[in-house]
Structure 1
Amino acid sequence: MHQDPGPPAGVRVGFTAAGARRGCRAALALTIGLMPFGLVVGMAADAKGLSLLETLVMSGLVFAGTAQLVALELWADPAPVLAATLAVLVINLRMAPMGAALAPVLDRLSGLRLWGSLAVLVDNAFALMVAEMRAGRRDAGFLVGASLTMWANWMVMCCVGHVFGAAVRLPPGHPVFFASVAALMAILVPIWRGRSDLLPWVVAGAAALAAHGAGLGAPWPVLAGALLGSAAGAARDLRRT
């Protein structure tokens, strides 16, 4: 069985305040692209009749824009709590392979530091942390700093979107709805390592498109892409060992 050989010589693994500050700075640029996404979630929650408190509780605990939008699409009166919960669970299962990919850092934590890091893990912070690991830095504080910066921005933007939701009604297809996708595409650039990354990326994209083409609605395309792309990447890495 392949085992993690541990950090390279001279690489410090831990959880430091300096790493958290570096994560905050790294996340600041991404928060600009995520602001419209938070506004959209806030406006959608207002349109579905959720109060500001309910919107903030949902945003603070779930902290996953795609999952929140899927839940809001299902929202009705009476609230389909079970259906919405299952939909959010399925779409957030992609976090499992993300956590496994960060094992060289997270496996050396325990208690509140470990579970707190996992609790605030999101796609964008994951991508930033992967870039850190590839640069030879394994400070879990970076992940938490980046994630908490995005969480704070998310809460503020969801609040603003809810407050002004009644005054601003954007039509479907408005460019602001593309902001979150653009932000995610931007963070793919620093983690691209060349042709060796092409296979899992192509498999993930093809799987998501196939699920969408088959008529499967959210969250199945995202889940199919995440799981099959991760499997392709794991198979590639196993062949190298």
Structure 2
Amino acid sequence: MNLRHPLRENRGFLLFLLSFALFRTAVADWNPIPSGSMRPTLLEGDVVLVNRLAYDLKVPLTDVVLLPLGEPQRGDVVTLSSPAGGTRLIKRIVGLPGDRVAMHNGTVWINGAPLQYADVHTVGERLAPGWPVDAVRATEQLGPRAHTVQFLPGVSARRDVPERVVPAGEYFVLGDNRDNSEDSRFIGTVPREKLIGRAHHVLVAADWLGEDGWRMAPRLDRWLTAIR
């Protein structure tokens, strides 16, 4: 079979597909949220927009940096490739290069000072359908930026981390759902080249899990909302 004729006839469409693929791998992307590690900021079923040019211009499909474009900031929500296996994760930057970071009973300390927590309250939460737990939520003041974090007092979790200095060119990241997150407490600090991009908006959102199992219901109130 001669493929030249159909390839020639469809070259415009093929060029579009190639350009679209390069756009997603080098400029902007969207990622579904599969787990609850960033609750309540991000929920399972959210699809987030990611700016891949927020920090670096990279060779598509690689971690090779061609040109630095901006500096990651404390409080940024980022997608990253885990240095402990390559899994794509989404977390919040807490510690910058040179920072001294520790955790004591769930409280984050940066450079010898504890972060401040306000509006502490208890809500009902589900770890899975049919598994209700009590969750404590609070507004964490991370430098000039405030966001909500969640703790699960009834769940066994790593709430203490000895003070460590974040190496040059690396970042200490945490999930906002502090007692249910695989983050720098387990995977270590994240080299800059492993940062994929900054997540800045929820594009669309759906409720994946109901009380009785699988369902799909849109969460219209979360569509096109900025990530704090």
Structure number with the higher strand fraction is 2
The alignment's TM-score, normalised by the length of structure 1, stands at 0.25
User: Would you tell me which structure has more helix in proportion to its own residues?
Assistant: 1
Q: Give the number of the structure with larger relative contact order, counting CA–CA contacts within 8 Å between residues 6 or more apart.
A: 1
Q: TM-score, normalised by structure 2?
A: 0.26
